[in-house]
Structure 1
Amino acid sequence: MASPSPKSPEQSEKNKQYDRQLRLWGDHGQTALENGHICLINATALGTETLKSIVLPGVGAITIVDDSTVTDEDIGSNFFLECSSVGINRGSEALRLILELNSAVQGHSVQESTDQILLENPDFFKAFSVVIATALGEKTIQELSQHLWDINVPFILCRSVGFLGSFRIQLKEHAVVESHPDNEQPDLRLDMPFPALKSFLDNFDLDVVELKDHGHIPWIVIIYKAIEKWRLKNNNQWPMSTKEKNEIREIIRDFIRKDENGIPINEENFAETLRAVNTALVPTFLPVKIQKLIYNSAAINLTNESSPFWIMCSALRNFVETEGKGKLPVCGALPDMTASTDHYIQLQNIYRNQAAIDAEAIYRKVQQITAQLHCETISETEVKLFCRHAHNLYLIKGSCIAQEYRLESSVASYIARYLEEPNVMMVHYILLRAAERFLSEHCRAPGDWEPEGDISKLKSCVSKLLSDISCSPFPKDDHVHEMCRYGGAEIHSVSAFMGGCIAHEAIKIVTKQYIPVNNTFIHDSASTNSAVFTF
């Protein structure tokens, strides 16, 4: 979405509507979301609550696949159905009411079962950015997950039963350029300043700065001068230890002006400098995680089917080995600081100009690679964004749900290891899996008709699962009784909470910003405990 023009009231209103989320993922993130198409399988309470939180921020389109008709039970748990909806197709009714939340979103309803689509029209799912499914049996889950894995479409399998909720994200490969780390280190290059920065820093002489300007010197300059003074006495080494950093702080304190009584004058820029010592003294280096990416076989052995991410990683490696001299491109961002406007703008432009020079060098390399491979070109904007966040690139290599459900040895040992601990959330994973198996075998949820009679049947499903992973049966049947007591019912508050969580993950996948959960999240609302497992 382009930045709105003051003369365009329609765009200004749109910008105003999405103001808060634009602060999170920017115009380009919003554009990616508006180009996204989400498929929901089964408009249960969990499904519609998930779509609600995807429609409100403005996803481009949604499609609901559901061949069920609305029942009284649906009305009791699903806020996106009305009493008059009973007997009507659940997907079309939910779609009609969900689209009222945002007129900009396109909607479609498919009144067929997932099994029928997989059998008759498997290419149907290729059109979607993400497929979200709930209330499916074990057999359907395995067939759907394997198909989506084969065609490389992200898949989120989610459940809401009683007080339990979970989701499992299936991603074959997901590259995140804008990972938005909580504690992003500033890229200052004070240990090896590039020519323009060194010229700016060397131009300052703290001994001759006028008193009126002393409180407006950028803290980057003060730290640089303190480091220079320290290195003269320490064989040009770089201060690394706590002791050495404290020595830098003492030098900075010596720079602070004193009044006629010898008492240090409190100046905000020097207070900032003392607080910034730890982060400013981090030496420039190539992070191990980035080394692994740029020297990954996918970045070295490129083909015309390689993704833009791997092509840019290849260009980045070439830059590091040549112009970068072992370093990543300058990111160009400068932290806020107390300084004169002229000094700050000058310093800001120095970092931005060097970032532009580095990005241009990498862009030229990207152009050469795409020309050699005869593949689609990559825009300069995309390359600049990649360079800006090159220090925090992130790659998820996921696993297939169908493989997990086959309980291969690595998965079985992983589950068994967690089940050895008392009161672990993995017990709920087993119960939810057993409930899916029950649904496949009996075409209904455990406890839906006769809670007492289904206990032994569900216990049999649990025992079979535990046997497959070579684990002993549960010492108590409390969890089995509780699952049957739920009768497959959804509690709206649980579904609403889980729906919000799932929507967040779907948006991360579509915008390719922030790091999604990898890969299973389980929540127990009764105890308010949550856990993440990686199968």
Structure 2
Amino acid sequence: MSSPAPKSPEQSEKSKKYDRQLRLWGDHGQKVLENAKICLINATALGTEILKSLALPGIGSFTIVDGEKITDEDIGTNFFIESDSIGASRAQVTTQNLLELNPDVRGDYIDETVDHVLAHSQDFFDTFSVVIATSLPEKVLMPLSRHLWEKNVPLIVCRSVGFLGYIRCQIKEHTIIEAHPDNENADLRLDNPWPALQEHLEKFDIPKLDNKERSHVPAVIILYYYLNQFKAEHGHLPKTRAEKEEIKRKIIESPHPDEHGIKHLEENFKEAIRYINTCVNPVKIPSNVQAILNDDSCINLHQTSSSFWVLCAALKEFVESENSLPLKGSLPDMAADTNSYVALQQLYQKQAQNQSEIIYRRALEIARTLGLSQESITETEAKLFCKYASQLNVIRGSCIADEYQKTGLDFTSYLEDPDSLLFHYITLRGLERFISEFNSYPGQLDDHVEPDLLKLKSIIGKLLAEWGCSQIIRDERVHEVCRYGGAELHSISAILGGCAAQEAIKLITSQYKPLNNTFIYDGITSTSASFTL
């Protein structure tokens, strides 16, 4: 999205304030973010770092659920708690201090433990955009996980202990429209231009242009001319590297000599050469999009189908009719005179608008047939959907409670690698079970380190046996967890907090691909890894 320059008079104060992030997820993404409701369970150092990174970009509101009172340990690790707050409600103090970060954000707190809230008001969590839980013992996490899974509310579970930490995302179904891939080719449709574009492109006879006219022609027109020339000679568009090199040579040899007899290749001709490898291939339906169009949720719609799937059904009909996705309607910047570029740009924009209108109207008809409200799909949403149709993705995750009972991951193959970070996942899982069984962290008391080490080793051994894994975790890895005594390090929590907030924003905005499903960070070696468990 292009945003006004910082000194532009039409730029609002809010646009100035959020300028950098608007460049990442646009006005529409910011609007969704400003309507988001976040629930944080436990205002630990990690929890407050996550909320900090969500309050600053302007989430709508947050609620902290935490029944703990502030201790000396909180003072040493949590930047949002001051020394004169010992004994006060941790939820209340952190809420007040977090709200000072951004006056646009609303905040509330509940000075109760999460298990108390679950027992007395289970539907409390159902209205949140995302629930984020930190430092939850296994016996509390399990019922929370099952409840949010049934209600289709995303859950992010995080833990930071010593130099280690993890983030786990529980997503039942998450649909993505704007994936923002690192590399994306321009959608020029030069292999099969629609009539209006073809008529415009064929007005130009490149060799007959004088040197001044040559420098004003957009690269798309230059490339189309030489593609047509190649097609007339060979009967098909270039497919191989050698064939593309042939077009490249034709463009390089095309300049007229100047008054000194020297040939100069203008910048727009150099751009045409750069487009050869990326923009002359036939337009295909990406495999990720084809899988979505063949998905049962797209084929068998019902009254509870989301607008995403209704639009997918309309897109499926369009693809079957046109054998292509709708046009994006945008052109990359090109070296050309303004009038030539704008004329070409308008052709692409008009065609994209016509195609998105077709899909939008069809989606409304489908929604009406299903008995859905006509307001359930907006024209703006349909335009975005069509513009980024090639980026569509669906992620279906797994329930944490199910994973804790039986994981589908083959641990043996991972644990054969002595440097695999999956070792930390196993030790941290053992830590959570230890907390549930003994109501304390291993090594929390100095004189309990050795006895706790034996207990934790036994718990980890049982876990590995449950997973059918014969590997043994080395003593030093278990001892590393015990020596932390459950302590958080603020620097580690800050890193994990930023990562977890990023995942929450992805889930809220339906932009960028979120984590699927576990991220592990090792602060000792400054390494990280992701696993699908």
TM-score normalised by the shorter chain: which range applies?
Answer: over 0.9
Pair 1:276–1:179, CA change in 2 (3 A): same
- For residue 418 of structure 2, the aligned residue among 422, 437, 441 is 422
Residue equivalent to 2:365 = 368
Deviation at 1:192, TM superposition (A): 0.2
Deviation at 1:257, TM superposition (A): 2.4
- 2:164/2:492 contact within 8 Å kept: yes
Distance in 2 separating the partners of 1:278 and 1:257: 25
State the secondary structure of the residue aligned to 1:233: helix
Pair 1:527–1:391, CA change in 2 (3 A): same
Residue equivalent to 1:395 = 394
Where do 1:116-515 residues align within 5 Å? 116-235=116-235, 237-259=236-258, 262-322=261-321, 325-377=322-374, 378-408=377-407, 410-411=408-409, 414-449=410-445, 450-474=448-472, 476-515=474-513
- Aligned Cα RMSD in Å? 1.7
- 1:150-197 Cα deviation digits (max 9, x unpaired): 000000000100000110011101011011111112111000001111
Distance in 1 separating the partners of 2:65 and 2:429: 22
- 1:130/1:154 contact within 8 Å kept: yes
Residue equivalent to 1:521 = 519
- Greater shift, 444-453 or 33-42, is seen at 444-453
Identity %: 51
Distance in 1 separating the partners of 2:227 and 2:102: 56
Deviation at 1:263, TM superposition (A): 3.4
- How many pairs align? 525
Deviation at 1:10, TM superposition (A): 12
Distance in 2 separating the partners of 1:251 and 1:466: 65
Deviation at 1:272, TM superposition (A): 1.3
Deviation at 1:139, TM superposition (A): 1.4
Distance in 1 separating the partners of 2:226 and 2:304: 51
Deviation at 1:262, TM superposition (A): 4.8
Deviation at 1:531, TM superposition (A): 0.4
Distance in 1 separating the partners of 2:122 and 2:182: 40
Deviation at 1:244, TM superposition (A): 0.6
- 2:449/2:483 contact within 8 Å kept: yes
Distance in 1 separating the partners of 2:172 and 2:274: 42
- 1:434/1:462 contact within 8 Å kept: yes
Deviation at 1:420, TM superposition (A): 2.0
- 1:416/1:469 contact within 8 Å kept: no
- 2:412/2:470 contact within 8 Å kept: no
- Greater shift, 270-279 or 494-503, is seen at 270-279
Distance in 1 separating the partners of 2:13 and 2:226: 50
Distance in 1 separating the partners of 2:334 and 2:503: 35
- Greater shift, 393-402 or 415-424, is seen at 415-424
- 1:46/1:499 contact within 8 Å kept: yes
- 1:33-69 Cα deviation digits (max 9, x unpaired): 0000000000000000000000000000000000000
Deviation at 1:247, TM superposition (A): 0.6
Give the TM-score normalised by the residue count of structure 1.
Answer: 0.96
State the secondary structure of the residue aligned to 1:437: helix
State the secondary structure of the residue aligned to 1:207: helix
State the secondary structure of the residue aligned to 1:521: strand
Q: In structure 2, give the amino acid aligned to 1:516.
A: P
Distance in 1 separating the partners of 2:210 and 2:338: 16
Q: In structure 2, give the amino acid aligned to 1:94.
A: T
Deviation at 1:17, TM superposition (A): 0.7
Distance in 2 separating the partners of 1:185 and 1:208: 30
Deviation at 1:198, TM superposition (A): 0.3
Residue equivalent to 2:37 = 37
Q: Which runs of 5+ in 2 are unaligned?
A: none
Q: In structure 1, give the amino acid aligned to 2:425.
A: Y
- 1:256/1:270 contact within 8 Å kept: no
State the secondary structure of the residue aligned to 1:165: strand
Distance in 2 separating the partners of 1:326 and 1:475: 54
Q: In structure 2, give the amino acid aligned to 1:108.
A: D
Distance in 2 separating the partners of 1:204 and 1:266: 18
Deviation at 1:327, TM superposition (A): 0.7
Deviation at 1:417, TM superposition (A): 2.4
State the secondary structure of the residue aligned to 1:62: strand
State the secondary structure of the residue aligned to 1:316: helix
Deviation at 1:282, TM superposition (A): 2.0
Deviation at 1:261, TM superposition (A): 5.9
- 2:252/2:265 contact within 8 Å kept: no
State the secondary structure of the residue aligned to 1:283: coil
Deviation at 1:451, TM superposition (A): 1.9
Distance in 1 separating the partners of 2:61 and 2:484: 33
- 1:343-372 Cα deviation digits (max 9, x unpaired): 100000000000000001001101100111
Distance in 1 separating the partners of 2:390 and 2:62: 34
- 1:191/1:284 contact within 8 Å kept: yes
Q: In structure 2, give the amino acid aligned to 1:285.
A: K
- 1:373-400 Cα deviation digits (max 9, x unpaired): 1112211110011000001111111111
State the secondary structure of the residue aligned to 1:273: helix
Distance in 1 separating the partners of 2:54 and 2:281: 40
- 1:303-346 Cα deviation digits (max 9, x unpaired): 11001110000000111122xx2111111010111011111000
- 1:299/1:313 contact within 8 Å kept: yes
State the secondary structure of the residue aligned to 2:253: helix
Deviation at 1:241, TM superposition (A): 0.7
Distance in 1 separating the partners of 2:172 and 2:509: 16
Q: In structure 1, give the amino acid aligned to 2:15.
A: N
- 1:45/1:77 contact within 8 Å kept: yes
Q: In structure 2, give the amino acid aligned to 1:40.
A: L
Q: Which runs of 5+ in 1 are unaligned?
A: none
- 1:36/1:128 contact within 8 Å kept: yes
Deviation at 1:470, TM superposition (A): 2.1
- 2:423/2:473 contact within 8 Å kept: no
Residue equivalent to 2:532 = 534
Pair 1:109 & 2:105 matched: no
Distance in 2 separating the partners of 1:130 and 1:240: 47
Deviation at 1:258, TM superposition (A): 2.3
Distance in 1 separating the partners of 2:474 and 2:25: 47
Deviation at 1:452, TM superposition (A): 2.3
Distance in 2 separating the partners of 1:282 and 1:81: 58
Distance in 1 separating the partners of 2:233 and 2:265: 28
State the secondary structure of the residue aligned to 1:193: coil
Distance in 2 separating the partners of 1:476 and 1:313: 50
